[in-house]
Structure 1
Amino acid sequence: MSFWAKLFGGAAPAPGVRMAPTATRAVPLPLEPETAAQGLPAAAVEDRFFRFVFSLPASADIAPSEREQQALQRLDDICGGDRYDVRSLPRMPTVLPQLLRALKNDDLNGAKLAELIGRDPVLVGEIMRVIGSVAYRVVQPITSLQHAIVLLGQVGLRQVVSMHVMKPILLANAGMFGQVAGQRLWDHAERCAHAAVYLSKGLCDPFEAHLAGLVSNTGIGAVARALDKELSGALAVYTPQFIASVARIAAELTLQAARYWELPPNVLEALAERGTATLPMSQVLHAANLAAMVELMSEHQTIERDAVIEGEGAGRFTPLQLARCRQDLRRQFASNEQTYGNIQ
């Protein structure tokens, strides 16, 4: 079992709550034209996104069933508040926290970075792969890791390092939901990180915003695994209240994981303010998260691309700024060929 597979499981799932089987495509949830014109509440977008990720059917806005309430109570007993045993989470390999700290130091030279990175062969391979892509094609061949680091630049290197940490987590087997859900979580994480950088200009550190966007939904897989392993019975209907409660618990787990991984204080504050969004980075993360959800779902034709989201700007961004952010996401993710050195 790989180092990161311990978080979301690698073995066959234990008997538990059986949710809808993962399909290759989420069940479309068409918008009513007047709803799109008037604006969707952010909570409705998040509900649609959760169902999209896990291929859950739509549900009427009715009170949770007794079985749902029992499942939520059990889930809260396991994962709510600070009750989740963070010691069961894998720690980052030693080199990665060191690199994250080093990359905040503008005076650190390429030789020192190459020394740190050279301790992680997988990260070395990822850097060489990225530097060999079309975006970094150069006349002279890359002769060393240090040469690649200098060419990639500190900003591009920050992205490679942070994605090297998060991509295996989100692509890991998320219990009963499998690889499709993991891929969708990763696709959202990429878009959320990109949108967070776009919106961070003049408000907060772009790298910290990028990192906050990447980790923003890491707790979802852990919650899915808990549902799979610990709960008994079967749920045929998933009401919006049930989905919202599961999402809240997942957000708490995301914050616990971020603390355990010793992510930067500003990232922790943004994750802790998820429901209020008063700090600049919290507002950036709120808007980026919703923009990424809409863009990803629109790519799969489960929501209208130009859907208006109530409160998307978090009191900070104008409709024009948000529209430009979405347009930038479309340009960036128009093809499957992703590059790393595009943060300004």
Structure 2
Amino acid sequence: MLKRLFGLAADSGSAAGNDHAQHAGSLTTGAAGKMDGLAEEAPNDLNWKPAFDVDARFFPWLLGDYGKSFGHDLEKPLLMALEKVCRSEFAGSSLIPRVPSVLPQLLKSLRNENVSGDELARHIAKDVSLVAELIAEVNSSYYSTGDKISSLDNAVRLLGINGLRMLVARSAFRPLIQLQSGHLTKQVAPVIWQQSEYCALACRLLAQERGLDSFHAYLAGLLQNVGLIIAFRTMDQSMQYQRMPLSTEFRLSFLHMAQSLSFRVAQQWDFPDTVTAALQAQINSDSSTPSQQKLQDLGLVVRQASELSKLRLLVNDDIVSQQDKELQWAAASNIQSCFAALQLQQRDNQSA
């Protein structure tokens, strides 16, 4: 369904990423200088990963007061409930809302290469929240025009077709991930959405620099946490004490099944093959094992972007120091630049 809405074919090329190069370049320039010289430094950036398990720090931080140590006998029923959802025909997709009604019309227009700015503006004008998001986007530090833009027509022209596609994609995924239902989901969903935005942005920037389709990368970054929300909603329906286990064994199993759910949902929604393959690659490659070295192309981009987005939140909250040598920045200057771009994203969110 969403494949048709976004107008993507499974074998679509990198035109979206190429058309969007100026946007990505302006963002990284404003954040930490240009991400130049990738050809010489690619091996270091492609091998980058922190020297510690990021999820081991991120997961307890995400849960906060909802995390607790339980005995194995109390953990097992929760994992069994989640496994049942994973094995179900629709992989728990009924636990997340559908796409807002105005978006299919707009996405259909975005498929047309000859669509006019006026036509796009007419569709966007039907959704007040989308108008507000578009105006905020073009006035963010990504574009740095110097003059505040308040005209919808000017905003559409400045953002461009591919910029609009990413804006609409973000609008479509926000209600799927930022759910306010259930005690646990209500606690974690806003943070998961923030991490999803960071991850999608990091995916786009890394894909752009590596010659991959930046829009497919952006979609993969947004989609990778859909399974996590389904998993948390399942916990809300299954937990007796409204607390989540913190043991390593539980965390690894929980996140593994959440990744599997994201992949299954991508298949259900008929996303491009490159996106589903990148999500499938995450299932057998968690960040605590050397198997990350086997990831390639978009699969590697999603893994590294996920790490960067979680680290950004942990650094923002002083859980991890940006100067920590275990972050392995020294040999990955372009990864560092991408990480700095996420800080720019945070400032724009705070000023919005």
Compute the TM-score of the two structures, normalised by the length of structure 2.
Answer: 0.69
Structure in which a larger fraction of residues adopt helix: 2
Task: Say whether residues 1:250 and 2:261 are aligned partners.
Answer: no
Deviations 1:91-111 (A, max 9, x none): 323543454465465443223
Task: Say whether residues 1:294 and 2:307 are aligned partners.
Answer: no
Structure 1 alignment gaps of length 5 or more: 1-37, 340-344
Letter paired with 1:111: D
How do 1:128-167 residues align onto structure 2 when only pairs under 5 Å count? Answer: 128-131=135-138, 135=144, 138=147, 142=151, 145-167=152-174
1:268 aligned partner: 276
2:38 aligned partner: none
Distance in 1 between the 2:181 and 2:211 partners?
Answer: 34
Q: How far off is 1:300 after superposition? A: 0.6
Distance in 2 between the 1:105 and 1:309 partners?
Answer: 47
Distance in 2 between the 1:77 and 1:197 partners?
Answer: 33
Distance in 2 between the 1:255 and 1:152 partners?
Answer: 30
Distance 1:168 1:308, change over 3 A: farther
Task: Say whether residues 1:207 and 2:207 are aligned partners.
Answer: no
Q: Give the length in aligned residue pairs.
A: 292
Letter paired with 1:40: A
Q: How far off is 1:330 after superposition? A: 3.0
Distance in 2 between the 1:335 and 1:140 partners?
Answer: 15
Structure 2 alignment gaps of length 5 or more: 1-48, 286-293
Distance 1:128 1:261, change over 3 A: farther
Q: Pick from 330, 333, 336 the counterpart of residue 346 of structure 2.
A: 333
Instruction: Specify the SS of the correspondent of 2:322.
Output: coil
Q: How far off is 1:243 after superposition? A: 0.9
Letter paired with 2:256: R
Distance in 1 between the 2:128 and 2:250 partners?
Answer: 43
Instruction: Specify the SS of the correspondent of 1:330.
Output: helix
1:197–1:209 CA contact under 8 A, matched in 2: yes
Q: How far off is 1:279 after superposition? A: 4.1
Q: Pick from 145, 170, 181 the counterpart of residue 177 of structure 2.
A: 170
1:66 aligned partner: 73
Distance in 1 between the 2:300 and 2:75 partners?
Answer: 32
Distance 1:278 1:51, change over 3 A: same
Task: Say whether residues 1:284 and 2:301 are aligned partners.
Answer: yes
2:93 aligned partner: 86
Distance 1:183 1:308, change over 3 A: farther
1:223 aligned partner: 231
Distance in 1 between the 2:333 and 2:181 partners?
Answer: 37
Compute the TM-score of the two structures, normalised by the length of structure 1.
Answer: 0.70
2:205–2:338 CA contact under 8 A, matched in 1: yes
Distance in 2 between the 1:232 and 1:215 partners?
Answer: 29
Distance 1:59 1:337, change over 3 A: closer
2:60 aligned partner: 51
Q: How far off is 1:262 after superposition? A: 4.1
Distance in 2 between the 1:55 and 1:140 partners?
Answer: 40
2:100–2:172 CA contact under 8 A, matched in 1: no
Deviations 1:66-104 (A, max 9, x none): 221232122212334756343454332354345446546
